[in-house]
Structures are given as C-alpha cells and as structure tokens.
C-alpha cells in the first residue's frame, strides 16, 4: 500500500507554528521585548510603523550574541533558557520554547545586528521567509537590534485579516505597557510613525505605573502588600470612585510575567463588593511572586495563561489583602462613631475643678418701654427699638388704604428651572400624557395607547440631532466659566485626536492640547457641566478597542455614544410640558420606533387588547 503520510518541509512547518505564535504585529512586539529583557538589557527602544504592519524594531543594550548563536537563534526549538523537561518547572526567564524567532522569520523580512561585549565585531543577518539571505560581520554597539518588516508578506490571506492601523497600534501599545509595567528598573522608549509616545526612565513600581498610565493615576492608587509562605504579593488597586466602565487598567503579573486569570480577577472584584457603581470595573496592578514549581505556564502559545497548584488559597489571600488595604486607607466604609472634638478634655485640665458658669441678667429690661438707644458698653445689657405699650394694638388694626402702596409690595418669586427640552420644538399643552414609575410616558391616539420608554426616546432624539450637527450643521456650545482640564493617557489621547473634529461639530470647544491633557472651554447645550468628564471617559472607552476606518461609521458610533450618555435617565421626573415635548420630538424623528441600537422605544396597546382582558 502506498504511504500517504509524509514530513512537512521546514518552511511550511514554520508557517504553521507562526500561526500560533504570531497572530498580529503585537505578538512580535511581545516576543522581541521579552527577549531583550532576558538578555539583561537596561535600556530598550521599540520603533513601529503603521501599527507594526510595516516595521517593528527593538533595540537593546543587553548581552548580545556571537556568530553561531545569532544563526542558531532562528532555528526551531533552539533556546538557551532550558536543557531538560524539569527546567520547565523552575523558569525565571520569559521565553523558553525556542519558537519565537523561527516563527517570526517564517512570515516576514528580518534583519538582525548583534554583538557581545567580548567581540570586536558583531554579526549582521538578513532572513526572508526562513531563508538566510546574508550573514556577515558588522560594526554595531553591544546588544541587539532586530527589525521585522512586511509582516505576513508571504501569506496574503493572513495579512488581510489585520485590522486598521489605529487598532493594531493600540495592541502594540498594550503589549509594550505590559512589559514596561513589570520591569520598572529598565528604561523603555516607544516611537510610532516617528512620534515618541513613551519615554520611561528606570523607576520604582509606582512611578512606572504613573509614567505608563498618566499623571492622573497617582491619586487613584492604594498600595497592597502581603507576604506568606505561599505567595508574595505587592502592587496597587484603584480607588472605587475612579472605577471605569471598561476593563482597561487591570494587570496581573506572576513571577514578572503578565497573565490573564478570571478566577483571580473575581477575587479582586469581590473585595470591591458594595463599593463600585453599576457596571464599573476596578483598576489594579498586582505583582505576585510564587514558587516556579507551583505553577505551569506552558499551557498556551502566548504564555498569558497559567495554572496554580493551590488556586483557592491564593484567591483567599488576594481577596483579603485587597479588602484590608481598602479599609486601611479609609477607602471602604466602616462603622465609626465620631464624636465632636470640642468635647475632648485637655490633658492639662484633667485635674482642675469645674467652673460654675455665670450669667448676667438685666433685671430692669422691659420690652414695652418707650424706644431706647442701643448701648454697646456692657455685654449682656441690650435694648431694641420697639413701639410703646400704648401703640402695640395698632399693629393689628392698621391697614393699607391706598392701592398705590399695594403696587410697591415686593413678593418673593419662585426660581423657574428651564425646561429639559427648552427651545427644541413647539410645546403643545395637553393633559393626554402622564409619567409611570419615573420611567415610562403614557399617551394615547384615537384607537391606541402608547407606552414610551423616556430614556430610549430621548436617545433616539439626540442621536438624530447629533448626527445632523456632526455631518452638516455644527451645534452651538455653552461656554464654561472655568475651563475643564482632562488628564488623558496615551491611548485616550490617541482616540481624542482622531475624534477632535467630530467633537467640535457636536458642540465641544477645545482650546489647548498637551502631551497628556486637553482643555475644554465649551460643551454641548444640554450637557450638564458636572457630567462632562464622565461622558468623555465613557466615550473614549467606547472607541478604545476599535475605531472604524470609514468616516460615516466613525460619526455614527460617536453620535450613538454621545446620545446614549446625554439622554435623560430612567428615574428622572418630567413635567407635563416636558413629557408632551418629548413625545412631539420623538414622532418627528425618522425612525421613532427603534433606538439607534435597534431596541424598541415604545409599545402599543389597542382598545381590542383591553377588551380581551375584561372578557
């Protein structure tokens, strides 16, 4: 019988392996940065172009490699990290499989320059699709410079699956941050398309977190520290009031390696129980040190998943440590009976006797005597202007005779709060609407009753208005008395710059851009100033993971995000006029039946439906 099983060629096997290790440019960034850390570098520079699709270059001042090692490093399963299977359970390095460089070289153009401290000359290698094109001596500093160009050049199908430059750039930044956060003693630099995004000098953990996540992070951090025989824990958690609607600032590091672990995440979340708003996620930067023998990190190609021998004990330690830190720094609520400090007895007065209080009374004081002058000479003796006892009855008998005096009477007027929908449409006074449970507006037509969700109705109204403003007619903005300064991290600033023009058309007035802040002078008319920061945080988190390439999709997503955040919330009491105008504006929309997210705005109940219920 003819044999049907055969060995795959090396270049095909490498491309298959690359499918597991190299999923996108950020995967290459992770592997190269970890190699630089393993090489004992003290300074690492990452240069990327077009989100890493065109170029990824990592330059370090580590130990470097000789001629033979430089060539062997691109062979499959060639590594200096382990020698036997037992070494997998005492790992202290990032990489150990020996697949990274071979996989990267199989799907890209690679150029490497490397030199050790003992060699006079370094090595220069050029590899294209696993084929070594050139290897020659060169003059280069101590360390390694490795460039990866034209990723997936020989697999067009894989290249077509890559996202836009902005999305790939975000993933590159994420991988850079994960490596930089866990190695604060190493100086890191990130340059993308010629712009320097990060320049992080060597520092401690807190300084590195602030350097990576932005200056506003410093006030949010609560330190966590615990040491037991099983685990050594240190790091920081964010204060509950700064919790975000997204999971962006959540980092676990085990033995200096970034991991994802839903079970441990639940431990931290449970420590925040009762402290967070609805659908808010806590921030945390937690560093765990455990015995390498007690974990298995060789269960996933990207090495971001690990297994612990004793997960339940680690869960308990983590939860109690975070909860203790929140209580220790007066972040979590405690039962405390505070007393007035004025009631405390001074130590000097402890043995002195009590003084009997004295009261001076003016026994000659008569309120019905004739008018007297106020005397300030003696405390306790006071007088005031009063009418004589003969005239006190006139207070109840005097009347105002002239109508002219009536016109001069000033009456305190009640302050009128402007309508929620003021100036949007003609208000039709009607008693045909009423509010149910501060959530629904009930109104009727000739043959039907309509039950309208007020939040969804306002969402639809604002969406169509914002879409019109952003695309055709810029909205008016209300100027702020005191400009609002927003502190943004690198990802948020990147998104804000992309959306800047659309935000201006939506009614925001932006006066100044800094490296990590934006100054806002004006906001849309119906947006409360107190909610501006919350709205923009939510907006940036909505766009953080994916920014559409086309202008219309970007405008549509922006209008949806702004409208949903600005729409009146369920639980808001609406006056009759506001209810009526909300209904009028809803039915002047192009699509009153559905929200922009395709959810029902109102339901109908006909008279026949009620008739059936009474049968």
pLDDT in tens, 265-289: 999 999 998 888 777 888 999 999 9
Q: How far is CA 176 from CA 32, 53, 492, in A?
A: 10, 16, 16
The more confidently predicted of residues 242 and 210 is: 210
pLDDT at 207 over 90: yes
What is the residue-averaged pLDDT of the chain?
80
The more confidently predicted of residues 130 and 144 is: 144
Q: Is 441 left (phi over 0), alpha (psi -120 to 50) or beta?
A: beta
DSSP annotation of 176 reads H
In sequence order, which residues have a C-beta less than 8 Å from that of residue 307 and are 6 or more positions away? 295, 296, 299
Give the confidence band of 205 by pLDDT, cuts at 50, 70, 90. very high
Among residues of the chain, what percentage have pLDDT more than 70? 78
For position 267, what pLDDT does the model report? Answer: 92
For position 412, what pLDDT does the model report? Answer: 45
In angstroms, the CA 184 to CA 180 distance is: 6
Q: What three-state secondary structure class fits 7?
A: coil
Question: What dihedral do alpha carbons 109, 115, 119, 120 form, nearest 10°?
Answer: 80
In angstroms, the CA 97 to CA 561 distance is: 44
Tokens of 381: 């003796």
For position 430, what pLDDT does the model report? Answer: 42
Domain ranges of the chain: 10-200, 222-328, 434-586
For position 465, what pLDDT does the model report? Answer: 87
For position 549, what pLDDT does the model report? Answer: 56
Q: What three-state secondary structure class fits 285?
A: strand
Note whether 129 and 106 are within 8 A (CB).
yes
How many CA atoms does the CB half-sphere of 55 hold within 13 Å? 16
For position 224, what pLDDT does the model report? Answer: 93
Q: Taking the mean position of all CA atoms in its chain, how far away is CA 103? A: 34
The dihedrals phi and psi of 6, each to the nearest 5 degrees, come to -145, 160
pLDDT in tens, 316-356: 999 999 999 988 876 655 454 454 555 555 545 555 667 77
Name which of 38-42, 443-447, 592-596 the model is least confident about. 443-447
For position 123, what pLDDT does the model report? Answer: 93
pLDDT in tens, 364-376: 777 776 555 554 4
The more confidently predicted of residues 239 and 5 is: 239
Give the confidence band of 390 by pLDDT, cuts at 50, 70, 90. low
> Which class in CATH covers the domain with range 434-586?
alpha beta
Q: C-alpha angle 428/430/431, rounded to 5°?
A: 165
pLDDT at 314 over 70: yes
Q: CB atoms < 10 A from the CB of 576, how many?
A: 15
pLDDT in tens, 467-509: 888 777 777 788 888 888 888 888 788 888 888 888 888 888 8
Q: What three-state secondary structure class fits 581?
A: helix
Note whether 111 and 149 are within 8 A (CB).
yes
For position 383, what pLDDT does the model report? Answer: 44
Note whether 131 and 75 are within 8 A (CB).
no
Give the confidence band of 121 by pLDDT, cuts at 50, 70, 90. very high
Note whether 190 and 177 are within 8 A (CB).
no
Q: What is the mean pLDDT of residues 235-242?
A: 89
Give the confidence band of 424 by pLDDT, cuts at 50, 70, 90. very low
Q: What is the mean pLDDT of residues 210-216?
A: 87
Name which of 96-105, 206-215, 244-253 the model is least confident about. 96-105
Among residues of the chain, what percentage have pLDDT more than 90? 28
Tokens of 284: 């945390």
Q: What is the mean pLDDT of residues 113-140?
A: 91
In angstroms, the CA 122 to CA 113 distance is: 7
Give the confidence band of 599 by pLDDT, cuts at 50, 70, 90. very high
How many CA atoms does the CB half-sphere of 257 hold within 13 Å? 25
For position 552, what pLDDT does the model report? Answer: 67
Q: What is the CATH architecture of 10-200? A: 2-Layer Sandwich (3.30)
In angstroms, the CA 312 to CA 61 distance is: 41
Give the confidence band of 553 by pLDDT, cuts at 50, 70, 90. confident
Q: What is the CATH architecture of 222-328? A: 2-Layer Sandwich (3.30)
pLDDT at 87 over 60: no
């Amino acid at each position: 019988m003819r044999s049907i099983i055969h060995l795959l060629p090396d270049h095909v096997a490498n491309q298959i392996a690359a499918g597991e290790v190299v999923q996108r440019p950020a995967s290459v960034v992770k592997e190269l940065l970890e190699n630089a850390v393993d090489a004992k570098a003290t300074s690492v520079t990452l240069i990327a172009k077009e989100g890493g699709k065109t170029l990824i270059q990592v330059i370090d001042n580590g130990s470097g490699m000789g001629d033979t090692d430089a060539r062997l490093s691109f062979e499959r399963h060639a590594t200096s990290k382990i020698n036997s299977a037992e070494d997998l359970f005492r790992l202290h390095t990032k990489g150990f499989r020996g697949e990274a460089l071979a996989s990267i070289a199989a799907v890209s153009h690679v150029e490497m320059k490397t030199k050790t401290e003992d060699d006079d000359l370094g090595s220069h290698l050029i590899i294209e699709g696993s084929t070594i094109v050139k290897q020659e001596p060169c003059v280069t500093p101590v360390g390694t410079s490795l460039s990866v160009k034209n990723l997936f050049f020989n697999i067009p199908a894989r290249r077509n699956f890559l996202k836009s430059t902005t999305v790939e750039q975000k993933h590159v930044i994420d991988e850079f941050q994960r490596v930089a956060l866990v190695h604060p003693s190493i100086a890191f630099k990130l340059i993308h398309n010629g712009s320097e995004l990060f320049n992080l000098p060597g520092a401690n953990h807190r300084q590195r977190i602030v350097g990576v996540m932005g200056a506003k992070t410093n006030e949010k951090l609560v330190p966590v520290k615990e040491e037991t025989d099983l685990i050594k824990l240190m790091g920081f958690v964010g204060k509950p009031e700064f919790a975000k609607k997204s999971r962006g600032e959540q980092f676990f590091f085990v033995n200096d390696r970034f991991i994802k672990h839903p079970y441990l995440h639940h431990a931290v979340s449970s420590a925040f129980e009762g402290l967070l708003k609805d659908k808010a996620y806590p921030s945390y930067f937690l560093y765990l040190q455990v015995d390498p023998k007690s974990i298995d990190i060789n269960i996933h190609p990207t090495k971001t998943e690990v297994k612990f021998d004793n997960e339940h004990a680690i869960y308990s330690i983590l939860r109690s440590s975070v909860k203790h830190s929140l209580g220790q720094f007066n972040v979590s609520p405690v039962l405390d009976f505070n007393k007035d400090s004025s009631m405390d007895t001074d130590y000097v007065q402890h043995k002195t006797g009590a003084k009997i209080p004295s009261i001076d009374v003016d026994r000659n004081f008569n309120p019905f005597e004739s008018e007297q002058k106020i005397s300030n000479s003696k405390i306790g003796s006071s007088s005031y202007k009063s009418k004589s006892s003969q005239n006190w009855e006139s207070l109840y008998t005097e009347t105002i005779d002239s109508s002219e005096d009536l016109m001069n009477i000033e009456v305190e007027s009640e302050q009128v709060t402007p309508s929620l929908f003021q100036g949007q449409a003609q208000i039709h006074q009607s008693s045909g609407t009423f509010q149910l449970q501060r959530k629904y507006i009930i109104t009727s037509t000739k043959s039907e009753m309509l039950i309208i969700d007020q939040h969804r109705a306002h969402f639809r109204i604002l969406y169509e208005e914002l879409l019109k403003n952003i695309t055709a007619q810029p909205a008016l903005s209300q100027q702020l008395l005191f400009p609002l300064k927003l502190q943004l991290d690198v990802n948020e600033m990147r998104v804000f710059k992309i959306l800047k023009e659309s935000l201006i058309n939506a009614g925001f007035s932006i006066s100044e851009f800094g490296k990590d802040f934006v100054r806002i002078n004006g906001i849309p008319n119906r947006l409360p100033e107190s909610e501006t920061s919350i709205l923009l945080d939510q907006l940036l988190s909505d766009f953080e993971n994916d920014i559409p390439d086309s202008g219309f999709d970007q405008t549509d997503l922006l209008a949806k995000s702004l409208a949903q955040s600005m729409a009146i919330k369920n639980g808001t009491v609406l006056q009759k006029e506001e209810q009526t105008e909300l209904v009028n504006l809803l039915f002047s929309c192009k699509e009153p039946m559905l929200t922009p997210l395709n959810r029902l705005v109102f339901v109908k109940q006909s008279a026949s439906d009620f008739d059936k219920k009474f049968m």
